[in-house]
Amino acid sequence: MDTAFDLTDDERELAAVVRQFATEVIAPIAYEADRTHTLPLDVVAQMGELGLFGLPFPEEYGGQGGDLFALALAIEGIGRVDQSLAITLEAGVNLGAMPVYRFGTEEQKRDLLPDLLAAKGLAGFGLTEPEAGSDAGGTRTTARLDGGEWVINGSKQFITNSGTAITRFVTVTAVTGERADGRKEISTIIVPNGTPGFTVQPAYDKVGWHASDTHPLSFDDVRVPEANLLGERGRGFANFLSILDEGRIAIAALSTGAAEGCLEAALDYAGKRVVFGEQLATRQSIQFTIARMQARVHTARLAWHHAARLRDAGRPYKAEAAIAKLTASDAAMDNARDATQIFGGNGFMNEYPVARHFRDSKILEIGEGTSEVQLMVIARELGLPA
């Protein structure tokens, strides 16, 4: 599919390189990685060598000097063939490295970013808890100062990139006090892997994203230096929300890639499958289904391109990011359903990519803010009452 209608020459080259890499390197191993629930770290390393994890960061820290649009192009290209590796990239950048770059001290940046931007290390962001996610007030994890150290107690769930062999640390949100208005003071603290009392629990048995690393975490009197505070004390949740809008654009790009992958598979299968002596593609009902799939891909791509361009230009983009995430995640889920239907019984077999997309795509309507949260954001941006 032609995706280059509004790209610069550099962006067009990046999209082509990632697409080729995804087709030649990722696609052949995607089924086995999914079947064995294994994150292929050798492929992650190759993604690092391509510079994908460093795309939106300055060269002084080992980055490529690009922007969010460039990162989203790479995520879309990988999401087309494998969502697990696409979310590994998205989370590694937006949830692992970006908080350090955006809010860290110069010492923290110099110490932590080079490995993350080269994919020699990964990091997770511990926000979600059994009773907290979009609702900061539900946060139960606590951190108190004692002798120049933070003492952390609590638990987190659904944390991506938190238990790999190259995971360096997780950044966790924790209640560090009480604000003047009585609300919880929430801060973010860096907790290196291997810190006593910090336990990475066994990986989840998920519906999809099988090759993506996801764990619950527990903290039992975990002690880290006071200097491991990331950003200003009490600004932890607010800082996370500022990054979340960017993450929604990235998830929209991933969703667009998934929707396109389903479209390509459906086109190929319909052209080869013979039913009652005729190609499946000759049936008007199939043609209309595929036409709608293409319309969804096109609309989703327009939405995330617009939101990303606004963000990179320094203009307001909160509503546009929510619209992109809502539109593209719907497109991924709808295209996965339609592609599976076109494949018939074969679409129910995990060896076919459409089956994997069908399982993987549901989380796109949940992660980084559910579809309902996106609708709420859009409504608030329209001025509707809270």
Say if residues 190 and 116 touch (Cβ distance below 8 Å).
no
Looking at the domain covering 9-122, what would its CATH class be? Answer: mainly alpha
Just give the CATH number of 238-381.
1.20.140.10
Question: For residues 117 and 341, what is the distance between their CA atoms, to the nearest angstrom?
Answer: 40
Nearest of 158, 178, 163 to residue 363 by alpha carbon:
158
Q: What SS3 state is found at 142?
A: strand
- The set of long-range contacts for 41-45, using a CB threshold of 8 Å and a minimum separation of 24, is 41/164, 41/165, 41/166, 43/85, 44/85, 44/88, 44/119, 44/122, 44/166, 45/119, 45/120
Ranking 205-209, 236-240, 251-255 by mean pLDDT, the lowest is 236-240
Contacts of 211 (CB under 8 A, 6+ apart): 30, 33, 34, 37, 38, 39, 40, 82, 84, 85
User: Domain map of the chain by residue range?
Assistant: 9-122, 123-234, 238-381
C-alpha distances in Å from residue 285, one per residue of 1, 273, 289, 355? 22, 15, 6, 21
Say if residues 139 and 186 touch (Cβ distance below 8 Å).
yes
| Residue-wise pLDDT tens digits, 27-43 | 999 999 999 999 999 99
| Residue-wise pLDDT tens digits, 349-361 | 999 999 999 999 9
The reply to whether 226 belongs to the active site is no
| Position 18 pLDDT exceeds 80 | yes
What is the mean pLDDT of the segment spanning 135-153? 91
Active-site residue among 90, 129, 246, 368?
Answer: 368
Question: For residues 262 and 283, what is the distance between their CA atoms, to the nearest angstrom?
Answer: 19
| Position 258 pLDDT exceeds 60 | yes
| Residue-wise pLDDT tens digits, 309-352 | 999 999 999 999 999 999 999 999 999 999 999 999 999 999 99
Ranking 1-15, 73-87, 180-194, 371-385 by mean pLDDT, the lowest is 1-15
Domain 123-234: CATH architecture, name and number where available: Beta Barrel (2.40)
Q: Where are the beta strands (DSSP E) in 179-213?
A: 184-192, 198-200
